[in-house]
Chain A
Amino acid sequence: MNHTDTIPGPLYAEALATLSGIFGAPLDKGDVENFYLPLDQGPLAALAVISQLNGTAEGLRERVRSFGETTKAEVELNKAFCLLFLGAGGPKSAPPYESAYVGNGRLFQEPAGIMAKLLRQQGLAPSADFPEAPDHLVLELSLLQETLRLAGLTEEQADIDVIHNLHARLNGWVPDFAAACAAFDRTGFYADAARLLESLLNLPLPCPEPAAA
C-alpha cells in the first residue's frame, strides 16, 4: 500500500479499534506477551499493514520489548496509564477527553454533551464496565469505527455525515492530546501510540464526502 492509497474502510476501522484498545485500558500480561510476536501477527497487526503507520507501529512494539521482562513492561505501562489517563499522578496528565482540550480544561463540558447526544442518536452507549464521559477518546474512536463499518454496509448519508463530524472532532483535539502524551509519558509508549493515532487521523477517510452544507 503506498502513501497515496486510501485505506479500505474495514482496515481503517480495525486500526481505530486497535488504538481504542490501547487507550481504553492498561495492557495486561497477555497483551504484553503478544507484543513479542512479529508485528503483523501481534496486537498491532491492523497497523502493520498500513504502510504509513508501519514504522511507528514497529517502534511501539519495540517500546514494549525494551522493558526486557513482560512483568516490568506490564507494571511500567500500567503506571504510565494510571498517571496519564486515570488521574493517579494527580497528574501531569493527558486526560483522554475532548473537554480537557477546550476552554479551561474542565471535563464533562460541551463536547461531552454533544457526544452524549450523538451516541443516543446512533443507538449506542458506553458499555457497563466503561463508565466514562461520552467525549472520552475511546468512545469517539469506537463510535467512528463502528459508524465506518456501518456506513460501509448501508451507505447512508446520515452515517457518512457522522463519520465526517467525528473525524473533524478528533482532528480538532487529538493533536493536543498527543502533545500532552509526548510531554508527560515517561515510557514513550503512549506518546508513540498517540502519534500513531494522529497519523491515522491524517490519512484520507475511506468514506464518501458528507452532504453539502
Chain B
Amino acid sequence: MSVADVTTISLSRRSFLTATSSLLALGAAGSLLPGAVGSAFAADGTKEVLGGSHWGAFWATVEDGRFTKIRPWEGDYHPSEQLPGVQDVIYNAARIKYPMVRRAYLENGPKAERDSRGDGDFVRVTWDQALDLVAGEIKRLEDEEGPWALYAGSYGWRSSGKIGNPQVMLKRMMNMAGGAVTSSSNYSKAALEGIMPYVLGSIDAAGPQTSYQSVVENTELIVFWASDPYKTNQIAFALPDHEEYKWFEDMKKADIKSVFINPVQIESCKSLGGEWVPVRPHSDVALALGLCHVLLTEDLYDKDFINDYTYGFDEFAAYLKGEGWDKVEKTPEWAAELTEVSADDIRALARRLVNGRTMLVSGWSTQRMQYGEQWPWVFVTLAAMVGQVGLPGGGFCQNYHLYSQGSPSSDAPNLAPGLSTGTRQEKKEWPAEKGAKVIPVARIVDMLEGPGKPYEHNGEAHVYPDVKMTYWVGGNPFHHHQDRNRMRKAWKKFETVVVQDFQWTSSARFADIVLPATTTSERDEIEQVGTVSKRAYVAMKKLVDPVFESRTDYAIFSDLAGRLGFGQAFTEGKSELDMVRETYEQAKSTADSQGKVSMPDFDTFWEKGIVEFEIPEKNLRRVKYAEFREDPLMNMLPTPTGKIEIFSKTIEKFGYDDCPPHASWIEPVEWLGMKDKTYPLQLNSNHPDYRMHSQLNATVVRELYAVADREPCVINTQDAAKRGISDGDVVRVFNGRGQILAGAVISDDIRPGVLQVQEGGWYDPLDNADPNTLCKYGDVNVLTIDIGTSRLAQATSAHTCMVDVEKFEGDVPEVDVFTAPAAAE
C-alpha cells in the first residue's frame, strides 16, 4: 500500500477547521462564517440584555456572543431559584445539535421496524434531508390516506413568548396541508374544564380572580385545599413577577388564619403558620360532602344565597341526607371513615367556614383523579352553601396557585399572539367514520390502541381515528402521559414520529426524526410581565445566536411550509421580528384609543427593552362574581339557568354513571381506603418544587433537589422504618404497571401511607427491550394509571395510584438521561 493510499483511508483526512482571510483574522470573523459558528463568537464585547422566561424576567450578560451570567429583573418580587436553568438549557450537554434520523427509519421509511426506537441509533442528516423526509410524509399521508392519519395534538409548555408558539405553528401548517387530528384541553385541569361550564358557565379557574388586596383586607379564614401557591406560582406562560409571595407576607401581617387540607405539609402552610389537615388522598370529595352535611343539618348554610343564586340544591340536599342515588347519608362520621379526618374536626371546620369571612381556595390535583369532575363541583357547591361568593375576600378561588391571578391589573391591553392556527383547508372530506378531529388530550394512548373504537366525551359519541404519524413540538409526552409502559407499546402504532425540540428529551429519543429547535433566548420575542397584572411588556431580544445547527421553530415550519407548497401563505411574508412589531403595535393602537396608558413607538420600546405600566389604585380591589351577586338577573351566569348549577339537567341527560348530575362521592379503582389493596401506599405525583414539569430537569437546577442522583421520593417516617429505608437510600417504587428508582427523603411532612414522587422526571429505561423495564431516574408516570376521569371530561387520573416501595438492593444503575459525567463535577 502506498503512502497516498494510507493517507486516503486515514481518519486524519477529515477537516474541521477552515482558514479565514487575514482580515478576518483581525477579529471580524463573525461577519462571514456560517450562522451559529461565526456570529455567535464575534468579538463584540460585553453587554447586559433583558430577557424573559417561564420563570421570570432576567438580565443576561452576553460576552462576545456568549450568555455568561444571569441575574433577576429587579421588578421581580421573589425571583425563582430555577432561573439559572434558563441559561443552562442553552448550553446544556443534552442539546440537540443537528437534524437526526433514526437509522432504521432513514433506511426503510415509515415501514421501518419500531422496536429499536429509544436505542439511540441516530444518523446526522442535513436540514434538507430531514425536512424533505418530514414534508414528504405529511404530503403522502394527506394524499394517500387523509388528515385523520396525522396527529398534531402536540401538547406541552413550549417556550415563552407571544410569537414563537410552535404548537400554533404546527396546527397552522397542518391546516394548510389539509388538516390533522388535534387534542383538546390539557393534563392540568381537564376535569375542571369539563365540569365547570355546566356549573358556572365558564372554566372559572382562568383569568383574574378576587384580588390579593381584597383577601388581605377582608378575609378572616383562608382554606387552601390541595393548593400550593408558594410552589407553582414560580412559573407562568407570561413572565411571572411572583407577586403571590408578597401576598403571603401581607396575609401574615394581617394575621389571617389559614387551614391547609393536603396529605403533605407544604411550604405555603409553613410560611403562613397554617393548620395542617392531613386528609387521606382521593377522599377530598367525601370531606367536602361531610362539611356540606354539617352546614345542612346544623342549618348553617346561607339559604338566601342558595335560593337566589343556585339551582338544584334540593336534589343535592337529598343526596346529603341519604335520599339520593346511593342512599347513603354523608354524615361527618361517614366522611371521617373515608378521609381519616375526625368527625369532630369536620364539624368544627364546617362551623368555622361560616363564622366570618372565608375564602375557599382549591388547587387542581384533586381533579386529576378518577371521577375528578366531582371535586370542583363539590368545592363550588360547598362555597355556595357558605354563601360568600361575590363578597370581598369571600367565596372561592380555583386558581391562586398559578399565574398570580390575584394580582391587580394595569390598564395596559393584553398582548395578542403573533400567529393563528387558521382553519383547515379541506382537500379531502372528513367523514365521521374516519374518526374524531379532536380527541381529549389525555386519551392519546386509547386512540393508538383503538383506531375505529367508539368512545364518549362530554355528551357526544365519537370514534378514534387511525393515526399513522405524529409531529411533536414544545412538549414531552414521555413525561406527561400516564402508564409509560403501556404508552411505549402503543407508541409503536405511529409509523413516523417527528420531535422538534432543543434538547434530547425522552420523547426525542423515542422519535424517528429529530429536529433541533432554538431556545427562547436564541430568537426575538415579546411577552408581558404578569398574566393578569400586565405590569410591563418586555422586548425579549435574541440574546445569543442559535447554537450548533438549531433553527427557530418559525424558521423550521416556514421551510416545511415552503416544501409543502404554501410558504408564502404560512408566513404572509413576515419575519419573527415583523410579528413582534405587529403584536406590539396592535397593543399600542388599543392603548392609544383607550387613552389609559402611554406607550412609546416600537423602535423606542425595542431599544429600551421594556415598557412598564402603573397599577391604578382603583384596580387593587377586585371581587370575582361581585356583579353576579349584585344583580343575578342582569349579570346571570352563562349556565342554562343563569345560576350556579348544583344539579345539572344537561349532565343528567347524558346518563353517565361515572358523572352523576350533582357532585357525588364515587369510590375510585385505587386508593388508600379500598378494601383489598394489592399495593399499600398512595402515590402523590405532585408538581415539582424546582421544575416546570419536565423542563429544566437536565439543568444545574437539578442539584437543588436530586437525591442519590435521582428524583426525590418522600416517605413518611413510619412507612420508611417498616421497610428499613433511610434518608438518601436508593429505593424502588413499583406496582403492577411498572417500576422506578428514586432517592429516599424521610419526612413527617407527609402523612403515613402516602408516597410522593414529583412528576416531570425524565424517563430513563434500563433495558429498552424489556416492556416492564426499570426507570433508573424516577419518571413517576411509569407507575400512574391511564384511565379517563369519566366520560364527561376524559381527563387524566394520574393521582389514582397505589404503589409499594422498598430499599433497592444490588448494583445501582447509573442515571443515563442527562447527568454530566462525574468527571465534570
B10 contacts A131, C-beta separation under 8 Å: no
Residue contact A20 to B12, C-beta cutoff 8 Å? yes
Q: What B residues does A179 contact at CB under 8 A?
A: 821-823
Per-position binary interface string of chain B over residues 482-520, scored 1 when its CB falls under 8 Å from any chain A CB and 0 otherwise = 000000000000000000000110100100000000000
Measured in the bound complex, the distance between the Cα atoms of B823 and A100 in whole Å is 9
Minimal Cβ-Cβ distance residue in B for A117: B43
B11 at the interface (CB under 8 A from A): yes
B97 touches A95 (CB 8 A): no
Q: Which residues of the partner chain B approach A24 to less than 8 Å between Cβ atoms?
A: 14, 16
A21-B14, A123-B19, A131-B36 known; A112 vs B27 contact (CB < 8 Å): no
Within 8 A of B (CB), among A84-124: 86-95, 97, 99-101, 104-110, 112-113, 116-117, 119-124
B818 A43 Cβ-Cβ under 8 A: no
User: Are B25 and A122 in contact, with the CB atoms below 8 A?
Assistant: yes
B11 touches A31 (CB 8 A): yes
Report Cα–Cα, A21/B7, bound state, in Å.
Answer: 13
Contacting pair A105 B824 (CB below 8 A): yes
Partner of B25, one of A86, A106, A121: A121
Residues of A within 8 A of B509 (CB): 88-90
B548 within 8 A of A: yes
A196 at the interface (CB under 8 A from B): no
Is there a chain B Cβ closer than 8 Å to A17's Cβ? yes
Asked whether A43 and B93 contact (CB < 8 A) given A86-B100, A117-B43, A139-B17, the answer is no
Q: Mark B7-23, 1 if CB is under 8 A from A, else 0.
A: 00111111111111110
B94-112 CB contact bits vs A (8 Å, 1 = yes)?
Answer: 1111101001000000000
Asked if B549 lies at the interface with its beta carbon under 8 angstroms from chain A, I say: yes
Chain A residues 101 to 158 lying within 8 A of chain B, measured CB to CB, are: 101, 104-110, 112-113, 116-117, 119-128, 130-134, 138-139, 142-143, 146
A92 adjacent to B12 (CB under 8 Å): no
Contacts of B100 in A (CB 8 A): 82, 86, 88
Min distance, Cβ B492 to any Cβ of chain A, angstroms: 20
A183 at the binding interface (Cβ < 8 Å): yes
- Residues in B with CB closer than 8 Å to A119 are 17, 29
B residues near A168, Cβ cutoff 8 Å: none
Pick from A112, A138, A177: contact of B16, CB under 8 Å: A138
Q: How far is the CA of A83 from the CA of B768 in the complex (A)?
A: 14
Q: Is B658 an interface residue (CB 8 A)?
A: no
Which residue of chain A lies nearest to B68 when distances are taken between CB atoms in the complex?
Answer: A109
In the docked arrangement, what's the CA distance between A113 and B41, Å? 7
Residues of B within 8 A of A26 (CB): 123-124
Please state if A87 and B94 are interface contacts (CB–CB under 8 Å). Answer: yes
Closest residue on chain B to residue A120 by CB atoms: B29
Distance in Å: Cβ of B763 to nearest Cβ of chain A: 9
Complexed CA–CA distance, A14 and B509 (Å): 36
Instruction: Specify which of A25, A26, A113 lies most central, judged by the most chain B CB atoms within 10 Å of its CB.
Output: A113
CB contacts (< 8 Å) of A25 on chain B: these are 14, 124
B102 to chain A, nearest CB (A): 10
Q: Are B16 and A142 in contact (CB under 8 A)?
A: yes
How far in angstroms is the closest Cβ of chain A from B169?
24
Q: Chain B residues near A122 (CB, 8 Å)? A: 25
CB nearest neighbor in A for B26: A120
Within the complex, what minimum Cβ distance (angstroms) separates B791 from chain A? 38
A138: chain B residues at CB < 8 Å are 16
- A116 near B504 (CB under 8 angstroms)? no
The answer, among B124, B506, B821, for a CB contact under 8 Å with A92, is: B821
State the CA gap A31–B95 with chains docked (Å): 27
Q: Report Cα–Cα, A46/B506, bound state, in Å.
A: 40
Of the stretches A1-9, A34-42, A159-167, A201-209, the one at the interface is: A34-42
Known: A83-B120, A107-B95, A108-B90. A180 touches B822 (CB 8 A): yes
Query: Across the interface, do B817 and A124 meet the contact criterion of CB distance under 8 Å?
Result: no
- Chain A contacts for B43, CB-based, 8 A: 117, 120
* Min CB–CB distance B585 → chain A (angstroms): 35
Across the interface, do A123 and B25 meet the contact criterion of CB distance under 8 Å?
A: yes
Partner of A41, one of B6, B94, B121, B549: B6
Q: Can you list 23 A-B contacts with CB-CB less than 8 angstroms, sorted by A residue number?
A: A17-B11, A19-B11, A41-B1, A42-B9, A83-B120, A93-B821, A100-B820, A105-B700, A105-B821, A105-B825, A106-B91, A113-B41, A113-B68, A117-B43, A120-B25, A120-B41, A120-B43, A126-B33, A128-B18, A130-B16, A131-B34, A142-B15, A179-B822
Known: A79-B121, A112-B66, A125-B18. 11 other contacts (CB 8 A): A17-B10, A20-B12, A21-B13, A43-B11, A78-B123, A86-B100, A91-B120, A112-B41, A123-B21, A124-B17, A179-B823
Interface residues in chain B, defined as those with a beta carbon under 8 Å from any beta carbon in chain A: 1, 5-6, 9-22, 24-27, 29, 33-38, 41, 43, 63-68, 87-88, 90-98, 100, 103, 119-124, 503-504, 506, 509, 547-549, 698, 700, 762, 764, 814-825
